[in-house]
Amino acid sequence: MPADTLLDRFAWAPAAPAHAPGALIHLHRETIVPECLERTFAFFSDAANLERLTPPWLNFRIITPPPIVMREGTLIDYRIVLHGLPIPWRTRIDVWEPGVRFVDRQTIGPYRWWRHEHRFEAVADGTRVIDDVEFRPRVHWVSGWMVKRDVERIFAFRQEALPRFFGAGATP
């Protein structure tokens, strides 16, 4: 049995509920990239680019074989390694509005609840990329502060990485 399969078998990743449980933590980030709306949305529509926007310390890997056709109902399987623990993660695309927004929600994974809305707005100097995330850690009374810190670090990395893909002369 391959090591990845063995690790995933022992990973802790219970199913998430269909509706948000209790109080949630909210994160809002905005970044303007110097690229037109159509090309920016196309970059985010390619699930493989998520690996490029995720910090290396998460050891993030997409498990779903390519090509992944993004649309409402698409399920995508990943694997992360969080604090040394390999965790399978599955998200479902709940909303798909090309050129406007899409929403992914965790169905299996490390959070009790995870919903991430990606919005895109054309602006004078490019495209505003808006991330609105609501989440609730498992055992939040113990891990809440640490999980919130980690999510903030993930999105700080993302904000720093985006200009590398859309900067002068870059081809996303």
- pLDDT in single tens digits along all 172 residues of the chain: 444 454 445 445 566 656 666 789 999 999 999 999 999 999 999 999 999 999 999 999 999 999 999 999 999 999 998 878 898 999 999 999 999 999 999 999 888 899 999 999 999 999 999 999 999 987 655 565 677 899 899 999 999 999 888 865 455 5
Domain residue limits, the chain: 3-10+24-166
Q: Please identify, in words, the CATH class of the domain defined by 3-10+24-166.
A: alpha beta
Q: For residue 9, which of 74, 52, 63, 50 has the smallest C-alpha distance?
A: 63
Sheet holding 101-108, edge to edge: 25-33, 126-137, 111-123, 101-108, 85-97, 75-82, 61-62
Query: Whole-angstrom Cα distance, residue 69 to residue 137?
Result: 29
**Token pair 């303007």 is at which residue?**
32
Q: How many CB atoms lie within 10 A of CB 129?
A: 23
